[in-house]
Amino acid sequence: MKRNHIYTLGAVLLVLVSCSKKFTERPALDATTLDNYYNTADEVRGLTSTLYGLPWSGYENRAMDAIGDVMAGNEHTSGGDDPPFLNFSYASTSVRIADAWKVFYKIGGWTSEYIKTLEQKIAMGGNRTFIDPAIAECHFFRGTVYFFIGRIWGDAPIITDPGKTALSGNFNIPRYFQRDVLRFALEELQLAEAGLPETDPQPGRLTKYSAKGMMAKLYLYLKDYENARKKAQEVIASNQYDLVDNYAGMFNSSSFNNNKESLFSIQHQLTSNPWGSGNQKNPDRGPSNLQTEEASMWQLYIPSLDILNAYEFGDLRRKGSVMEHGWTKPEWKPKNANANYNAFMANGYKYDTLQKDGEGGIKNATRSNIAKYVVGPGKTFGGETVLGMNSGINTMMLRYADVLLIYAEAVIGAGASTTESSAVEAYNKVRRRAGLSTKTSITKDDILKERRVEFAFEGDYWFDLQRQGFAKAKQLIEAQNRGTADAPAYVTFLERYMYLPVPAGEILQDPELAKDPVSYY
């Protein structure tokens, strides 16, 4: 607990500031104090810019796949620490569970200390014009990570003053009921909504509508349908967002970073030392036959057979999400030392399960690879710049398509279906982009199926399954084929799998975490 919750005792005074074109590029400053710093908007925004990228790395890299898509039945994996998430045999010692915990409590700790420091600066006469929106940014991030915490672990600790906790030496912190964790998350997002601006001149920065969209998602999880509908409608009515025409483009090129569909994205960039600042999904998802001297590829995660069967015929999102036999990318021209391989790829990359392995062919367990967040073989080979494992594409955490589907589902509410025109139109707008036929009446199952393929491989489907309740989640999960093309596999889903265990290492440091939860409010 100590190492994970109290990551930032002094982080507030070791400020990082941005003066460059990308707000996440920032040199460190020494000897900063409240007296001589946070006196300009750039200094304050430099502080909060640290929340948009690096701190998310441990979740975004692999834990997000393992929890959000492998466990949900969207992804198959056969290596490393992830296979237990296929059959729910993971343990409290899991690296992925520990990594996610560290990330969320680290961000929670940073935001708590940032809020405290900025409030102290205001008390000293600091300029509220730019300090208040920065505090609101912190509330958004703190609310968002506690939303994740409440969904992943259910009952969990809430820490609002990590510095005081560390100085007291008392690390006997209990778990609080999930309802309180989610209430805390909602209250944080409400503070963010109140303090964030309507717009921001810097692409990628949070706005009031980022908070409204995340609140809509949280209200939907709570089954507070009226408030979910209201917040989603406020985002829609703002006319600040829309669907990107090129669905595939959003996920295979950093030129789409901070597009009109993105309400909140993890910000990435490539520097001389990209570790932590770069997006590392390219190698974990890219097919091994796309590896070059510039780009690593080892396909740790591949589509499950079940998700492949979930796409309707003609769904344009399939090619934007999945590489299968016949999938091509003419501009990518990978090369290696094998002459037959180079001849096969001479006119551009081809995904081929019949060609000989080593000469351009690929034939993995599900005969497919993930296309989302695979930006290619590197600049020399017709793609964009890739530095080994790292690319510069942002990871979208909340998209306008989500808001539209939240709105449609919230209108249905506790009912089974709706023909209400605004809800049906929100749903159909997502389908029209996918090249699919529209409907005049929609059910909750329609929306759940639509959400699965729209957000496949984006770390979201597990939470959609979970919020259905145990009986429905069990029905859906046990119907999934989680095996390979040669060996189908099915699982038995038990109620204890609805939430992940607290990491074993945390309980060793804080035995209170093994006890029954208590009330926070």
pLDDT in tens, 167-191: 877 778 999 999 999 999 999 999 9
Q: Is residue 146 part of a domain?
A: yes
Q: Is residue 91 part of a domain?
A: yes
Q: Is residue 459 part of a domain?
A: no
Q: Residue 402: left (phi > 0), alpha (psi -120 to 50), or beta?
A: alpha
The tally of domains found in the chain comes to: 1
What is the residue range of 65's domain?
1-196+472-521
Lowest-confidence range among 155-164, 360-369, 407-416, 449-458?
155-164
pLDDT in tens, 189-242: 999 999 999 999 999 999 999 999 999 999 999 999 999 999 999 999 999 999
Q: Is residue 482 part of a domain?
A: yes
Output the pLDDT for position 119: 97
| pLDDT surpassing 90 at residue 303 | yes
Helices assigned H by DSSP within 124-248: 128-153, 162-168, 178-195, 208-221, 225-237
Res. 275 pLDDT band, cuts 50 70 90: low
* Exposure on the CB side of residue 140, measured as CA atoms within 13 A: 31
Mean pLDDT of the chain: 93
C-alpha to C-alpha distance for 55 and 484, rounded to whole angstroms: 35
Q: Is residue 177 part of a domain?
A: yes
| pLDDT surpassing 90 at residue 27 | no
Comparing CA positions, the residue from 81, 38, 242 lying closest to residue 29 is 38
Q: Is residue 401 part of a domain?
A: no
Q: Is residue 507 part of a domain?
A: yes
- State both tokens at 502: 């607290």
| pLDDT surpassing 80 at residue 21 | no
Mean local confidence (pLDDT), 312-337: 98
Output the pLDDT for position 33: 81
| pLDDT surpassing 50 at residue 243 | yes
β-bridge partners, 442: 418
Residues in the chain: 521
* Exposure on the CB side of residue 181, measured as CA atoms within 13 A: 27
Comparing CA positions, the residue from 89, 49, 132 lying closest to residue 493 is 89
Output the pLDDT for position 16: 35
Q: What is the CATH number of the domain that holds 26?
A: 1.25.40.390
Q: Is residue 221 part of a domain?
A: no
| pLDDT surpassing 70 at residue 89 | yes
| pLDDT > 90 in the chain, percent | 88
| pLDDT surpassing 80 at residue 20 | no
Comparing CA positions, the residue from 15, 20, 19 lying closest to residue 36 is 15
